[in-house]
Structure formats: C-alpha cells, structure tokens
Amino acid sequence: MGRWEPNARGRLERAALELYVEHGFEQTTVAKITERAGLTERTFFRHFADKREVLFAGSGAMQELCVAAVAAAPDSATPLDMVAAALDAASARWEERGETVRKRQTVIDANAELRERELIKLAALSTALADAMRQRGVAELTARLTAETGIVVLKVAFERWIGDPGQRSLPQLIKECLNALGTMTGSR
Amino acid sequence: MGRWEPNARGRLERAALELYVEHGFEQTTVAKITERAGLTERTFFRHFADKREVLFAGSGAMQELCVAAVAAAPDSATPLDMVAAALDAASARWEERGETVRKRQTVIDANAELRERELIKLAALSTALADAMRQRGVAELTARLTAETGIVVLKVAFERWIGDPGQRSLPQLIKECLNALGTMTGSR
C-alpha cells in the first residue's frame, strides 16, 4: 500500500459494500468502486482479485482464528467446548465489525452465486475445525459432526443477530444456541 | 397414467437418471429422456414439470414421512429422539431405492444449480422438522437447532453411504452418526 493511499483496503471495502447494498452486487463494477473510494483500479487489484473477493477476503483469517482457538483449548475441553471456543473467538471479531458484517450478509443473501461461495467457505471452515479437533485427539466422526454442528450454531446465531439488530450481541446469541443444543437430548 | 404406458413415471425416472449420469444433466433434453423411455413428451410433462423435477419430485413425500415420524414419537422422546425417528423412516426408504438414490446424488453433486436446489429442499425439510417438534412442545430454538443437527447427520451419513457402497446400510450409518453426536459433550 503506497503512502498516497492511506487505508486503501478499508476504503475499497467500504465503497464496495455500500454500492453492493445500493445497486446490487451484479450491477456494481470495479470502476464504480474505485470511483467512490477515490482510488485507481490498479490499487483495487493490488488488494483484491475481483469484486467478489472483497466479500470473502477475510475468511482465511477467520478460519485461522478458529483453528487457533481449538488448539488452545484446555485438555479438559470436550469436542463441543473446543468448537464453542472457536465460535467465541470468531464472534468477538464479527461483533467489533458489526455494521460491515451485517451489510456483507445482506449482499450475500441476495445473490445465488455468492450464497454458493459462502457455503464453500463455511464447508472449508468446518473441515479446518474437524482437522484441528482430530489433532487434539477427537475421533474422526465425532470431530466431523461436532464441527458441522458448530457451523449450524453459527448459522442460526447469525440469522438471529442479522434479523434482530441492536438487541443481543453475537457472542450472547451463540451462547444461547449452545445452551439450547444441550437441551436436545433432555426432556421437554 | 393411461393403460398404454405401464409405470410411465418409473420408466421416465430411470431413463432420465441414466442419461444424466452418462451425458450430464445440462446436456440431456426431455426429448432424449422420452426417446430412451419409449414414451412421448406429452407423457413426460404429465408426470414432471421439467427435467429438473425428475430429481426432486420425491422430496415432498420424504418430508411428509419425516414429519409423520416426529408426530408419532412417544411422549418420552427427547427432541433428538424425534429427529432420529424421522431419519430412520427416511433412510429405510432410501435404502430400498439404493441404486437410484446413489445415481441421483452423483448427478446433483456435479451441478451447481442442482446443489442449490437440493440445499433449498433440505432447508425446507429442516423447517418442517422444527415445526413438527414445536407441535410436540419443543421450544423454538431447541427445535430449530435439533432439526438442523438432524440435517447434518443426514448429510454426513449420506456421504459415507455414497462413498462406501455395499458396506453398511444407511440406517446403520445414521445410527453411528447419532452415537458420535452423543460423544460430542463427553471426554475424549
């Protein structure tokens, strides 16, 4: 990033999200994004491979955060505790970036290709979580199912968070989902 | 169905699946399907809205079967028991139609539009399961999460069933997944 373009990446991301929300993802060009951000297309392509990548560039870092949380869980942690630690780490980060994350989700929900891409990213996260659990000694099938259950919790908590802004925080909603999961095998 | 066309629906389904596997879903036309089945296009459209519907026509019946199983679960059943009963009912049916179900899955896995459609059908099944559980007195969030967890079990068991033909049956694989789920909150 050159010194002529302070926070170019953040400006591009903000401009892109605004335009995706205002005009739709399909209708927005890289030219329009750079115009609004007051930057050149060359700068855009130094930060992102294409306009879709603006929405998914953060997935890798989020996955690393989750995997690190599983690796750092205490030895006494159950598989579900490990996933809970991962979700807790990720959701604290999302909560900080609240408005951006909400906008991003609105854009993705409105576009089939983006939804498919999001599912692929979530599947990769699930695989990474399962691998991290196996490295902690969790059996193959349990690791797989616990990771997938974690993704379910994330999905349901996220929906409630997006649908109910300003009420409970994402970490709180995730905690509620994990508690509800605990009653799955209990009497009603 | 006229008496000139015994088992027209089954013949059309079989011909369509064969062609989808041989030449791909995109490349197969309704004309090709009816030619192979030895039936007219008019007959095809009496049974299916389009060539995609051949793959998804059974989803409604499967959903009804699952909902009925939840409704019929004993009063002592936990939410997870209800979902287990639903999966058990569905998987027995799939097991019977083994080769057809495997072929269908291969076709869907190879096509993004079909995968999206399958996900929509699974989301509808999840919603129906959650509704059925709520009618049995299960709390909203628990019902939602248990239903989604059931879909996870189905997905994982299905993958193992498809990837490992002739070994364990689908009902057995589902049972194994449900058992592994039970160890999620236990020590390793």
In this predicted complex, what is the ipTM? 0.84
* Residues comprising chain B, all counted: 188
Same domain, A179 and A119: yes
| B43 to chain A, closest Cα gap in Å | 32
What SS3 class is residue B66? Answer: helix
Domain count, chain A: 2
Tell me, yes or no, if A183 comes closer than 8 A to chain B by beta carbon.
yes
Q: Is residue A2 part of a domain?
A: no
Cβ within 8 Å, pair B188-A119: no
Q: Is residue A96 part of a domain?
A: yes
The number of CA neighbours under 13 Å toward the Cβ of B136 is 28
Q: Is residue A3 part of a domain?
A: no
CATH assignment at residue B30: 1.10.10.60
Q: Is residue B1 part of a domain?
A: no
Cα separation, A187 vs A1, in Å, equals: 58
Chain B, nearest residue to A133 by Cα: B188
Mean pLDDT by 10 residues, chain B (188 residues): 72 96 96 96 95 93 96 94 95 88 91 90 95 96 96 93 82 93 75
pLDDT of residue B4: 62
Alpha-carbon distances of A131 from A65, A83, A111, B43, rounded to whole Å: 14, 12, 30, 50
Q: Answer yes or no: are the C-beta atoms of B95 and B123 closer than 8 Å.
A: no
Q: Is residue A1 part of a domain?
A: no
Residues in chain A predicted with pLDDT less than 70, given as ranges, are 1-4, 187-188
Tell me, yes or no, if B120 comes closer than 8 A to chain A by beta carbon.
no
Q: Answer yes or no: are the C-beta atoms of B158 and B95 closer than 8 Å.
A: no
Cβ within 8 Å, pair A180-B156: no
Question: Cβ contacts (< 8 Å) between B144 and chain A: which residues?
Answer: 156, 180
Cβ within 8 Å, pair B78-A139: no
Where helices occur in chain B by DSSP H, the ranges are: 8-23, 30-37, 41-47, 53-56, 59-72, 79-96, 98-109, 112-135, 140-163, 170-182
Q: Is residue B137 part of a domain?
A: yes
Q: Is residue A89 part of a domain?
A: yes
Cα separation, A151 vs B177, in Å, equals: 17
Cβ within 8 Å, pair A177-B141: yes
Same domain, B71 and B122: yes
Range of the domain at A23: 8-54
Cβ within 8 Å, pair A181-B138: no
- In sequence order, which residues have a C-beta less than 8 Å from that of residue A73 and are 6 or more positions away? A81, A82, A85, A136
Question: Cβ contacts (< 8 Å) between A78 and chain B: which residues?
Answer: 184-188
* Residues comprising chain A, all counted: 188
Question: Cβ contacts (< 8 Å) between B184 and chain A: which residues?
Answer: 78-80, 142, 145-146, 149
> Whole-prediction pTM value?
0.87
Same domain, A86 and A132: yes
Tell me, yes or no, if B183 comes closer than 8 A to chain A by beta carbon.
yes
Same domain, A64 and A47: no
pLDDT of residue B24: 95
Q: What is the mean pLDDT of chain A?
A: 91
Q: Is residue B3 part of a domain?
A: no
Cα separation, B26 vs B114, in Å, equals: 10
Same domain, A37 and A72: no
